């Protein structure tokens, strides 16, 4: 599974998002006031934009599971594109779990947006949805998307989280490399 690329389509979260927990309230709560948009893999802040048919054996061919946990990731870009063909606005993402220092060049249509740290026992981002781990990283360590731009820094934060918070389950994280499609899903941003 190493270096395997998975795909997903997640809701967008920025100033135009119609959530009860507003963009401004989120930025104030998280202390991530410099964000232009949140492009995290966090499952509470970004729902999967479509519902797979969990009763279909065909859909299960594409769904990535880890143990008993059903991930929001899929092994086929074509599958995700088919499921989102009538959805106007979302983040089409390509991800790689536990990447090495060399970024995978996915293609000219995906742009690298950063690294996320997602708890091992769920889908919460330690970077953007845990209220901060100031002993491990500061808001300024995250880029405008709420991700870490540098692999070395991401690995250091991953190690520091568990070292400084051994009893906190949100601190034991997998590292994900995140790429976003530059046009699909983004071209119909609400005005």
Q: Tell me the pLDDT tens digit for each residue of 49-104.
A: 999 999 999 999 999 998 888 999 999 999 999 999 999 889 999 999 999 888 77
Residue 189 lies in a domain: no
Whether the CB-CB separation of 180 and 159 falls below 8 Å is answered with: no
Q: Tell me the pLDDT tens digit for each residue of 2-29.
A: 568 999 999 999 988 877 678 999 999 9
Q: Write out the residue range of the structural domain in which residue 142 sits.
A: 5-181
Residue 187 lies in a domain: no
Residue 191 lies in a domain: no
59 dihedral zone (left: phi>0; alpha: psi -120 to 50; beta): alpha
Beta bridge partners of 7: 74, 94
Q: How many domains does the chain have?
A: 1
Q: What is the pTM of this model?
A: 0.93
Each as own residue / partner, the long-range contacts of residues 62-71 (CB below 8 Å, 24 or more positions apart, any chain) are 64/6, 69/121, 69/122, 71/6, 71/123
């Amino acid at each position: 599974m190493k270096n395997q690329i998975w795909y997903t389509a997640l809701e967008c979260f920025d100033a135009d998002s119609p959530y009860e927990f507003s963009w401004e309230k989120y930025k104030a709560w998280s202390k991530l006031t410099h964000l232009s948009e949140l492009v995290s893999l966090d499952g509470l802040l970004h729902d999967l934009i479509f519902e797979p048919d969990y009763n279909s054996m065909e859909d299960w061919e594409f769904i990535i599971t880890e143990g008993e946990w059903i991930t929001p990731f899929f092994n086929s870009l074509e599958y995700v594109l088919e499921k989102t063909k009538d959805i106007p606005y979302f983040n089409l993402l390509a991800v790689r779990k536990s990447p090495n220092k060399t970024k995978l060049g996915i293609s000219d249509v995906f742009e690298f947006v950063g690294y996320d740290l997602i708890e091992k026992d769920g889908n919460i981002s330690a970077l953007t949805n845990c209220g901060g781990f100031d002993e491990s990283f500061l808001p300024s360590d995250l880029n405008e998307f709420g991700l870490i731009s540098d692999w070395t820094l991401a690995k250091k934060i991953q190690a520091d989280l568990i070292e400084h918070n051994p009893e906190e389950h949100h601190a034991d994280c997998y590292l994900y490399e995140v790429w976003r499609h530059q046009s699909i899903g983004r071209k119909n941003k609400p005005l």
